[in-house]
């Protein structure tokens, strides 16, 4: 079994040189007194140790053993319980949590690094933490003081965990069809009844209580409200008391993430507490959903990193085939790393993953600025974070599957059998494109809500910001700068042309969205490659040389995909929407 | 569980109208007296019935149950044994087999249709037949009369099965490292000793004997010879007698094709019979390998078809989201088939699969012409079949995975769980890109052996042939004809430029091969779309309308990928080969 080594040096480079973490942190209340870069790096070293020494070892068995449901109780795979206990005690669950309620208060740009490590080490395990942190974020943002005091400390400490209960059998992408309902019991509580499906971590044995955030309709309303529904009721003293009729009816058999409990949950007159206002639950839930969307994006990113580590190591060990040296001599036997096609695959994984990490930390920074700065100063960052959330979710997870498949291919036949972990990575990666809103839904959100509904203003502002940064990039090949600027122009032109098209035929939006998101993703990865190259000599000459090789590969081979997707959009007319149903 | 319905109408269209099967068959000895189109269609109807009613029902359970190894015996999943018996009795194993030895003697262009159905219904089950037919093909081509008489009838009848034993732990893509050795015993037999890995159908309980074709080195030679090594020895009367020390040591745990027995095989002084000449085994084995490569390509094609059937049916059943009609009215609830992004996915699967089927049958026709016509008349077809073999293997299987993933995506969360079969299809599809020579190896074979080593002559001849056909296409949009002709020009230009580059730096070949094969694939799919469109009004006006929609989607959205891959090659320089090892 191959090890996992967290890419600490890359993270250090991005935090210190590319995104000037310390300069930013000095502007943030609480953070400014509690964090400097040395401390941050010491924290990441600890996270690295935990992910490689504790989480990674339970990954392969968790896949084979899976979870099981016995008498209504979900049993997680061997080791999960002990590792989760240590993980919680290490403070990792409440890592970015509100310090007023005993969270660690760490910035998100550090949080995304820790998340990446956890997912690289074990997708299924990391999900339990992700749901808990997301639920806490939502409670912190929208719940009453009483609920926050009662629930947040135990969520941040990892003693309890969280779950997000939205989907029903007839209500997936389309939440209007939700049938779970709530009845008013008294001033502070409601009675919740309904069945939810695909509930990640809805039931398990890692924590003493599970806090469900449940979307339901209050009788006679067709709008959604959000409720906090604990698995076990919590008494005045804040301790768990009797059961609350929250039960897992079954667990799903899935392609991957076998260690993650995906439950059909039944709520039967369960007591729930309103979060936010009645009929305004969806907006509250979006706080959690946006958190989870970035988190699931990072799952994809993390899998790209793991795929690279597996495949590059194998490529250096596996001797197969012959090659010809640069001077024309026949080399009768060589490592497969010498073959051009193996390099093509490894470089694809590497350049997508490195740029993805830059975008992830950049997005983390926007979330931090939106959170810590005053409304005026943080406004632009908040808008950028909203724009980028569907991109990180969809583009990272699409590239995550692509990279996992390429990594598996490097192994040849050995990649298809269990032993190397390459095939598990593909199965685990696949879900990230589907859950938390399919990537088609993300693309629709991106194009329709974040771009068109905003009359392209945030898109233009974001691109304008990147453009102005480019002008300061020194020592970066000027052809790449031209390509990037032309890519930006084309992104805006195409968005304008889609805008005109959709004004005439609204249904055309969904036929454009995935290609547009892909075009945007490949283009801004180009920006981050240049930004990384620009800062790379601050590390060392060797580091710069390495980054220059990768940057060249990215611009020659992958950056042109941005333009290709825009070309597909240009070629698209409405005829595909007119094809009669019976032709399919 | 969704049913499988063989695409009989599409097959009929291709055989009858596009490839004029009957005209061709009238030129083939044996076939001309035994087959007309009505008979062929009746045969395909039978195959359709068998695949949907008998093979499909064992597919899902076979995946869950898998194979097991007990006391050296491999147990196949429930139902496999009975269905295989019926399958063999139906004459399907010897379908294209030599009638001189009791094969059915059917043409390959019909064989590929039957193969597609079998794979669509169950990948793992169809492999047992594929290996048997391939082994028989090799024996028929290269073995002595005595061996043919003894083994072929029982292989064609399905009483015995075949296996191909090449790979060893240190010898995968690179067969030079094979360590299995052979010692001369007497005039007709050798003693074979060694261990082979990843042997599909190396051991199982479907047939009373298993005939292994084993690559080994005769002592002191570094060249490979091919041996027929039966699991049980066969006596003078042609009946099985004592065991031959051919044993499965273990079976692999794999990502998919769980019903297929992938064995580590041990040969311990097993008796083997030389096929062909000493030290010339690789050339003989290539007869089987080429057969298997096309077969594995068809596995990918078949999975695209199955993905389409699953996803299009779900898209017509699943109600989710709203849309806006062409006249601007809000439609509050609709089938997901109405969403542009769902159509984009379905049309991608459909247009890749339909064109793939045309190429498969075209390749079958080339093999038939090479086999049945005299050497002079069949020569060009033989060359075309050689050129196309790696393309069918790699391009079909790459698109097969792509289509399976797109199909799964249409299902949303329901695609990730076992119940719909969409996730099994992805896991089963994944192997086709890896075994029978990874797709990187196929691309190297295509570019290096089939194009460059041939000084581009077969490539130019093939493209010239297609070009001359285009001139007869009537009622086909002329912009597509221009695009296709320009695509052909670019394919040749790029091949010439790669030729120059590789003359200076031979190692550059492998960095170009995959992109070149992809460019070729997308381009000739464009040709087949036009050829189909040209013939479509011979069926009906409705059929033509449908094909015209698909053809438009293909040319607007997917055909440009050909040019994109060529652009990637244009951007490629040797720097990726110069990146020092420690940068990875």
d(CA A468, CA B232): 76
Alpha helices in B222-339 (DSSP H): 281-317
Look up the ipTM and state it. 0.97
Mean pLDDT, rounded, for A101-109: 96
CA angle B412, B417, B421 (to 5 degrees): 90
The mean of the pLDDT values for chain A is 96
CB A118 within 8 A of CB A133: no
Residues A44 and A127 in one domain: yes
Mutant choice from B541, B575, B579 vs A, greatest count of A C-beta within 10 A:
B579
Residues A150 and A171 in one domain: no
SS3 B74: strand
Residues B239 and B139 in one domain: no
How many angstroms away from the CA of B368 is the closest CA of chain A? Answer: 31
Q: Which domain holds residue A19?
A: 8-68+76-157
Nearest-by-Cβ selection for A584 from B346, B426, B513: B346
DSSP secondary structure code for residue A76 in this structure: P
Using alpha carbons, select from A117, A92, A30 the residue that is nearest to residue A371.
A30
pLDDT tier, A328 (very low <50, low <70, confident <90, very high otherwise): confident
Q: Is residue B42 part of a domain?
A: yes
**Ranges assigned E (strand) in B85-189:** 160-165, 181-184
Q: Is residue A220 part of a domain?
A: yes
Chain B contacts in chain A segment 488-517 (CB below 8 A): 505-514
Mutant choice from A420, A477, A583 vs B, greatest count of B C-beta within 10 A:
A583
Residues B232 and B109 in one domain: no
Q: Can you give the CATH number for the domain in which B83 is found? A: 1.10.540.10
d(CA B139, CA B288): 9
Nearest-by-Cβ selection for A507 from B324, B337, B439: B324
Q: Is residue A354 part of a domain?
A: no
- Residue A4's contacts (CB-CB under 8 Å, 6 or more residues apart) are A51, A52, A56, A120, A121, A306, A309
CB A168 within 8 A of CB A197: yes
d(CA A336, CA B418): 36
- Sort strands B209-218 and B160-165 into parallel, antiparallel or unpaired: parallel
pLDDT of the residue at A403 = 98
Residues A141 and A247 in one domain: no
How many angstroms away from the CA of A275 is the closest CA of chain B? Answer: 26
Q: How many residues does chain A have?
A: 584
Using alpha carbons, select from B188, B210, B40, B74 the residue that is nearest to residue B132.
B210
Q: Is residue A523 part of a domain?
A: yes
Query: For residue B85, what is the enclosing H or E element?
Result: helix B80-89
CB B526 within 8 A of CB B487: yes
- Which residue among the candidates A436, A541, A552, A581 is catalytic per the annotation? A436
Number of Cβ within 10 Å of residue A482's Cβ equals 10
d(CA A243, CA A241): 7
Mutant choice from A9, A167, A222, A344 vs B, greatest count of B C-beta within 10 A:
A344
Q: Is residue B339 part of a domain?
A: no
Partner-chain contact B549 A172, CB within 8 Å: no
Mutant choice from A510, A542, A546 vs B, greatest count of B C-beta within 10 A:
A510
Phi, psi angle pair for A296, to nearest 5°: -70, -35
Number of Cβ within 10 Å of residue A157's Cβ equals 17
CB B165 within 8 A of CB B289: no
pLDDT of the residue at B535 = 98
Residues A148 and A165 in one domain: no
Q: Is residue B267 part of a domain?
A: yes
Residues B146 and B33 in one domain: yes
Partner-chain contact A512 B340, CB within 8 Å: yes
d(CA B25, CA B41): 14
Bridge partners (DSSP) of residue A225 are A216
pLDDT of the residue at A325 = 78
Residues B41 and B153 in one domain: yes
Pick from B216, B247, B280: which residue ends a domain? B280
Using a CB-CB cut-off of 8 Å, the residues of chain B touching A312 are: 584
Asked if B116 is an active-site residue, the reply is no
Residue with tokens 């087949």: B528
| Cβ-defined contacts of A183-187 (< 8 Å, 24+) | A183/A218, A183/A219, A184/A218, A185/A271
CB B27 within 8 A of CB B37: no
Using alpha carbons, select from A271, A309, A295, A255 the residue that is nearest to residue A136.
A295
Q: Is the pLDDT of residue A326 over 80?
A: no
Q: Is residue A422 part of a domain?
A: no
pLDDT of the residue at B288 = 87
- Tokens representing residue B386 in the block: 């050689």
> B208 touching A, CB under 8 A?
no
- Tokens representing residue A149 in the block: 């005091």
d(CA A455, CA B69): 63
Residue with tokens 């001369």: B184
User: Would you write out chain B's pLDDT as a tens digit for each of its 584 residues?
Assistant: 799 999 999 999 999 999 999 999 999 999 999 999 999 999 999 999 999 999 999 999 999 999 999 999 999 999 999 999 999 999 999 999 999 999 999 999 999 999 999 999 999 999 999 999 999 999 999 999 999 999 999 999 999 999 999 999 999 989 999 999 999 998 889 999 999 999 999 999 999 999 999 999 998 899 999 999 999 999 999 999 999 999 999 999 999 999 999 999 999 999 999 999 999 999 999 888 888 999 999 999 999 999 999 999 999 999 999 988 777 788 899 999 999 999 999 999 999 999 999 999 999 999 999 999 999 999 999 999 999 999 999 999 999 999 999 999 999 999 999 999 999 999 999 999 999 999 999 999 999 999 999 999 999 999 999 999 999 998 899 999 999 999 999 999 999 999 999 999 999 999 999 999 999 999 999 999 999 999 999 999 999 999 999 999 999 999 999 999 999 999 998 889 999 999 99
- Tokens representing residue A10 in the block: 């890359």
User: Pseudo-torsion of CA A558, A560, A566, A568, nearest 10°?
Assistant: -80
SS3 B188: coil
Q: Can you give the CATH number for the domain in which B218 is found? A: 2.40.110.20
d(CA A471, CA A245): 60
Burial category of A1 from C-beta neighbours within 10 Å (exposed 0-12, middle 13-18, buried 19 and up): exposed
Q: Report the domain count for chain A.
A: 3
pLDDT of the residue at A330 = 87
Q: Compute CA B446 distance to the chain's CA centroid, rounded to the nearest angstrom.
A: 15
Phi, psi angle pair for B454, to nearest 5°: -100, 10
Pick from A280, A302, A320: which residue ends a domain? A280
Nearest-by-Cβ selection for A253 from B167, B177, B417: B417
Residues B46 and B153 in one domain: yes
d(CA A157, CA A238): 14
CB B521 within 8 A of CB B439: no
Using a CB-CB cut-off of 8 Å, the residues of chain B touching A5 are: none
pLDDT tier, A233 (very low <50, low <70, confident <90, very high otherwise): very high
Residues B202 and B255 in one domain: yes
In angstroms, the Cα distances linking B455 to A340, B368, B390, B458 are 21, 26, 18, 8
Residues B136 and B184 in one domain: no
SS3 A527: helix
How many angstroms away from the CA of B556 is the closest CA of chain A? Answer: 5
Phi, psi angle pair for A232, to nearest 5°: -115, 135
Chain A contacts in chain B segment 188-207 (CB below 8 A): 197-198
Using alpha carbons, select from B536, B478, B564, B565 the residue that is nearest to residue B354.
B536
CB B98 within 8 A of CB B143: no
SS3 B263: strand
Residues A467 and A524 in one domain: yes
Chain B contacts in chain A segment 41-100 (CB below 8 A): none
d(CA A210, CA A420): 34
Burial category of A138 from C-beta neighbours within 10 Å (exposed 0-12, middle 13-18, buried 19 and up): buried
> A3 touching B, CB under 8 A?
no
How many angstroms away from the CA of A558 is the closest CA of chain B? Answer: 8
Alpha helices in A172-280 (DSSP H): none
Q: Is the pLDDT of residue A329 over 90?
A: no
CB A81 within 8 A of CB A205: yes
> A408 touching B, CB under 8 A?
yes
Pick from B253, B280, B307: which residue ends a domain? B280
Mean pLDDT, rounded, for A104-130: 97
Dihedral over Cα of A546, A549, A555, A558: its sign:
negative
Dihedral over Cα of B45, B47, B48, B52: its sign:
positive
d(CA A443, CA A519): 11
> B427 touching A, CB under 8 A?
yes
- Angle A422-430/A281-317 helices, nearest 10 degrees? 160
- Residue B374's contacts (CB-CB under 8 Å, 6 or more residues apart) are none
In angstroms, the Cα distances linking B553 to A290, A501, A573, A578, B338 are 34, 18, 9, 12, 16
> B386 touching A, CB under 8 A?
no
CB A281 within 8 A of CB A101: no
Bridge partners (DSSP) of residue A69 are A74
DSSP string, B215-234: EEEETT--S-EEEEEESEEE
Q: What is the pLDDT of residues A134-180, one digit of tens each?
A: 999 999 999 999 999 999 999 999 999 999 999 999 999 899 999 99
pLDDT tier, A367 (very low <50, low <70, confident <90, very high otherwise): very high
In angstroms, the Cα distances linking B320 to A577, B125, B314, B410 are 17, 36, 11, 12
How many alpha carbons lie under 13 Å from residue A223 in its C-beta half-sphere? 10
Partner-chain contact B254 A198, CB within 8 Å: no
- Which residue among the candidates B436, B465, B496, B552 is catalytic per the annotation? B436
Q: Is residue A352 part of a domain?
A: no
Q: What is the pLDDT of residues A505-536, one digit of tens each?
A: 999 999 999 999 999 999 999 999 999 999 99
Partner-chain contact A340 B512, CB within 8 Å: yes
Burial category of A242 from C-beta neighbours within 10 Å (exposed 0-12, middle 13-18, buried 19 and up): exposed
How many angstroms away from the CA of A418 is the closest CA of chain B? Answer: 6
Partner-chain contact A326 B577, CB within 8 Å: yes
Q: How many residues does chain B have?
A: 584
Using a CB-CB cut-off of 8 Å, the residues of chain B touching A346 are: 584
Q: What is the pLDDT of residues A418-475, one digit of tens each?
A: 999 999 999 999 999 999 999 999 999 999 999 999 999 999 999 999 999 999 998 8
């Amino acid at each position: 079994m191959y090890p996992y080594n967290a890419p600490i040096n890359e993270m250090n480079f991005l935090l210190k040189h590319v995104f000037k973490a310390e300069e930013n942190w000095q502007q943030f209340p609480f953070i400014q007194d509690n964090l400097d870069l040395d401390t941050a790096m010491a924290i990441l070293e600890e996270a690295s140790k935990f992910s490689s020494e504790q989480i990674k070892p339970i990954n392969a068995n968790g896949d084979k053993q899976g979870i099981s449901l016995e008498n209504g109780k979900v049993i997680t795979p061997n080791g999960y319980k002990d590792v989760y206990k240590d993980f919680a005690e290490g403070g990792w669950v409440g890592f970015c949590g509100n310090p007023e309620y005993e969270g660690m208060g760490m910035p998100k740009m550090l949080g995304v690094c820790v998340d990446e490590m956890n997912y690289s080490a074990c997708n299924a395990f990391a999900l339990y933490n992700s749901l808990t942190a997301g639920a806490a974020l939502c409670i912190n943002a929208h719940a009453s003081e009483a609920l926050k005091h009662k629930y947040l400390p135990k969520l941040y400490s990892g003693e309890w965990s969280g779950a997000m209960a939205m989907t029903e059998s007839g209500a997936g992408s389309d939440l209007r069809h939700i049938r779970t309902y709530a009845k008013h019991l008294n001033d502070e509580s409601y009675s919740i009844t309904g069945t939810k499906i695909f509930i990640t971590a809805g039931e398990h044995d890692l924590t003493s209580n599970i806090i469900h955030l449940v979307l339901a309709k209050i009788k006679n309303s067709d709008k959604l409200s959000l409720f906090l529904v604990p698995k076990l009721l919590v008494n005045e003293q804040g301790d768990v008391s009797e059961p609350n009729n929250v039960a897992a009816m079954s667990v799903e058999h899935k392609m991957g993430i076998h260690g993650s409990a995906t439950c059909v949950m039944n709520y039967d007159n369960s007591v729930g507490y309103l979060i936010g206002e009645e009929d305004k639950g969806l907006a509250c839930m979006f706080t959690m959903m946006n958190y989870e969307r970035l988190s699931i994006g990072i799952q994809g990113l993390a899998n790209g990193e793991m795929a690279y580590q597996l495949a590059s190591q194998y490529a250096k060990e596996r001797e197969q085939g012959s090659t010809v040296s640069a001077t024309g001599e026949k080399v009768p036997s060589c490592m497969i790393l010498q073959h051009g096609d193996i390099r093509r695959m490894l470089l694809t994984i590497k350049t997508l993953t490195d740029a993805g990490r830059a975008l992830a930390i950049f997005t983390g920074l926007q979330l931090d600025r939106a959170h810590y700065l005053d409304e005026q100063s943080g406004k632009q960052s908040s808008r950028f974070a909203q724009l980028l959330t569907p991109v990180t979710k969809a583009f990272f997870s699409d590239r995550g599957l692509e990279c996992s498949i390429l990594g598996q291919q490097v192994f040849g036949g050995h990649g298809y059998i269990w032993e190397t972990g390459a095939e598990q990575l593909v199965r685990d990666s696949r879900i990230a494109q589907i859950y938390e809103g399919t990537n088609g839904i993300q693309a629709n959100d991106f194009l329709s809500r974040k771009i068109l509904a905003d009359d392209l203003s945030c898109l233009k502002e974001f691109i304008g910001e990147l453009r102005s940064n480019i002008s300061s990039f020194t020592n970066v090949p000027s052809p790449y700068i031209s390509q990037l600027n032309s890519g930006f122009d084309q992104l805006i032109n195409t968005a304008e042309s889609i805008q005109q098209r959709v004004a005439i035929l609204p249904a055309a939006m969904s036929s454009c969205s995935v290609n547009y998101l892909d075009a945007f993703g490949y283009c801004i990865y180009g920006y981050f490659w240049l930004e990384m190259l620009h800062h790379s000599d601050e590390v060392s000459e060797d580091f710069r040389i390495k980054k220059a090789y990768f940057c060249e590969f990215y611009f020659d081979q992958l950056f042109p995909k941005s333009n290709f997707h825009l070309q597909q959009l240009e070629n698209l007319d409405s005829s595909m929407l007119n094809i009669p149903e019976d032709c399919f």
